[in-house]
Amino acid sequence: MKIFPDFSILATSVLALLASSVYAAGPTHADVRYSKKYDRSVLDIWQVKSGKPAPLVVYFHGGGFKVGDKAFFRRNQILKYHSRGIAFASVNYPFLVHTNKDYFKILNHAAEAIRFLQANAGKYNIDKTRVSVMGASAGALISCHLGHGVDLSIRSVFAIQQPMGTPLLTYPKLHKNGSSIILYNSSSLRDRVHHPDNAALVHKRCEELGVTCAVYGSRKSGLPELPEGKNIHDVAMKFFHDSWSLPFPQK
């Protein structure tokens, strides 16, 4: 089963396009092992120092299940919310070469990272009842799977550049009791890897199921554009806070 084309140059380019231009501070805990099964079963944590457990957002990188690294998250603009009381984690996971090209082994192994963080919530000052996930490209497939294909009590999902493979890996797993989902896809209709139809498919199915879902894109994608002056990272964080039943922090 091929979900992405067999060339990593495209995947590497996607990573570059999804990056922001400003590096965030490094994690408070780096290379934390969440499983002994694979060398890549490690994650980084941005812990919040506060008197009460913090909501958690867990990021899964893209790269076509062939390349990519958790360190990529350090460039993500959403990390500015760490200073506003949100904990973050960024996860590495096995590639296809490690799982005999079994996509579901990767998707299900990613769940181990969530279980580890929930089990160690006290150690890392995490509110295990308020966990959301996000990811780009392959990471979007992982995030949707964790919100709907596994019972992890994930509150919400932020799927960026929903890719090919969505009809096989994501669509069949969507169900009425799954996590709320916000999608963002800025690709044009000529992009066969991240065609906007993949995001539209998820949105349509969520509407049919009664799952809270929002979808945004660019003019060239044909998806609804963000309100003027709005940034997708801020919109996604507001979506997360709504799913956590918490007030959105003011600037």
Per-residue pLDDT reduced to its tens digit, 34-93? 999 999 999 999 999 999 999 999 999 999 999 999 999 998 999 999 999 999 999 999
pLDDT band at 15; cut points 50, 70, 90: very low
Distance from C-alpha of 250 to C-alpha of 150, rounded to nearest angstrom: 33
Average pLDDT taken over every residue of the chain:
92
Sequence letter at residue 230: K
Q: Please report how many Cα atoms fall inside a 13 Å half-sphere around the Cα of residue 112, on the Cβ side.
A: 20
Q: Given a cut of 80, is residue 2 above it in pLDDT?
A: no
pLDDT, residue 90, reads 98
> What angle is formed at CA 217 by the lines to CA 22 and CA 2, rounded to 5 degrees?
90
Q: What is the pLDDT, as a whole number, of residue 221?
A: 96
The residue ranges of every structural domain in the chain are 8-244
What is the spatial distance between Cα 129 and Cα 106, in angstroms, rounded to a whole number? Answer: 24
Q: Is the pLDDT of residue 199 over 60?
A: yes
Q: Look at the alpha carbons of 238, 159, 86, 211 in this order and tell me if their dihedral is positive or negative.
A: positive
Report the candidate in 52, 31, 51 with the shortest Cα–Cα distance to residue 42. 31
* Domain 8-244: assigned CATH number: 3.40.50.1820
Q: What is the mean pLDDT of residues 188-216?
A: 97
What is the predicted pLDDT for the residue at 3? 80
- H/E element holding 119? helix 103-119
> pTM of the full predicted structure?
0.92
Beta bridge partners of 88: 46, 57
Find the angle CA(108)-CA(116)-CA(202) to the nearest 5 degrees: 40
Instruction: Give the pLDDT score at 230.
Output: 94
pLDDT at position 42: 98
In the block, residue with structure tokens 């992009």: 191
CA 73, CA 158: separation in Å to the nearest integer? 14
Across 173-191, average pLDDT: 97
Give the residue among 178, 179, 137 at the shortest CA–CA distance from 160.
137
Mean per-residue pLDDT for 220-225? 96
Stretch 176-200: mean pLDDT:
97
Name the band, by pLDDT with cuts 50, 70 and 90, for residue 133: very high
Please report the pLDDT score of residue 18 as a whole number: 45
Higher per-residue pLDDT: 18 or 31? 31
Q: Mean of the pLDDT values across residues 117-125? A: 98
pLDDT tier at 166, thresholds 50, 70, 90: very high
